[in-house]
Structure 1
Amino acid sequence: MGYKKGLRNHDGVSLEENFGELPDNLQDYVEWVRKWIIQKKSEGCVALKIAMAYERSLHFEKVTREQAERVFRLQESDITQEDIRCFQDYLFWKICEIAAEVSLPLQCHTGMGQVIDTNILQLNNVIKNNPETKFVLLHCGFPWVDDLFSIVDGYPNLYPDLTWLPILSYTASKRVMHQLIEMSQIDKICWGCDTWTVEESYGSLLAFRFSLCSVLREKIEDGYLSVNNAKDIIDKILFDNAGKIYV
């Protein structure tokens, strides 16, 4: 959202209020972003998060530097939606590269948001071409969860995160967990509350525990898992996996 001054994102957050004066050219802007990411990591940041699904499509093309820097050369009144898209696409790919350089997972909000073109498959090309970047796909692309199943097995750098899913749909959360377990993705699944208050966080935990226990009970009753297998899965999803990703 830094293609012009004075902008705020969907949460009302301003870059300038949080990080100071914006650079006026693309090269300095990218280095400015890298500097802040490195500084925040040194202060304890364990991940980057992209919530652009609330602003636009998740289809980020590989554009040239020349295409991206047009927004810095044009008068504000002459900037087109295509210019904005190229700047954002270029910056997103750069952030993917920086995330790999500094070993920070990149959380991507998927699914709900502006809804149009915010499904997981929109990110397929970016994930494929940035194999050293850890992509954590928040909300598993709900309601388009089938997209996750189509690519999760093909990319070792892709991590499905069940955040928010049990609150959005108990049925969908169960289906996703059933299928990810059957696809041997147990070591990659994460969960988080994604809430604003203590009360919401606790309610989110209760919803997830109910959903997870329901899935594991069904798997045990079907003979698919032993009780010890189920206990291992609980430890992995609620603790171990995140501990390995967010190091």
Structure 2
Amino acid sequence: MDTTVAHPARRYNYWLGGKDHFAADRASGDAIEAAMPSIRTMALENRRFLGRAARLIASRGVRQFLDIGTGIPAPGNTHEVVQAVDPASKIVYVDNDPIVLSHARALLTSAPAGSVAYLDADLRNTRSILDHTDLKATIDLTEPVGLLLIAVLHFIRDDEDVTGIVRTLLDALPPGSYVAATHATWEYLPAEAVAKLTAANPDGRFQARDGADFARLFDGLELVDPGVASVAHWHAQDEPQPRPAVEDVACNGFVARVP
């Protein structure tokens, strides 16, 4: 593990107020926050969206979940949300950071009736996830699955075939499955903020996409109302009010059904 290079999971943990990060993660996080002072609000609203989306999918009868880009465990993990609906639910977490791996194995403990697995894998190597023996031992891909892609696709560049990655995942899901995804966008931000964010992304690892480009990655799915919307506003009527402005969150999300 190279702790001199910022990692998205550790940087996200920093923004959420966690303790599992290094100097490079904090420096990167601070640079982004200088360009977008509300970035911590964005991180918190993504987390809240995850809980609402997972709960909705579970309420529709799905009992298997694949959470890719899970990040360092924090209150409201996917298995806690969906096993509150049905303790027999099964969850597979996927991330590619050793710190996430160690914490996940120690903390992501299933309810006795269900099961939880953790895969050390990279979304860019999609087949390594779908073909993993631990995934096959936990999830039955002939039955509906809830696929969660929360704040991860904006780390896959176009030249890494983000469309092919998403399509490979969708092709593996049987009808009746659901997808919940979020994606950062700069479409609501002023030009000066975008310029600062671009300067804070020197390696080009982060790629924002507007709502239309984000939705196109998932063509063919049946969007749950209200479709693609700010994560701060999607099914957020029971969250603390007033809700943050879309400009302060700059992240879209949706839930959709696989027909």
TM-score, reference length from structure 1: 0.33
- Flag the structure with higher helix content: 1
Larger radius of gyration between Structure 1 and Structure 2: 1
- Flag the structure with higher strand content: 2
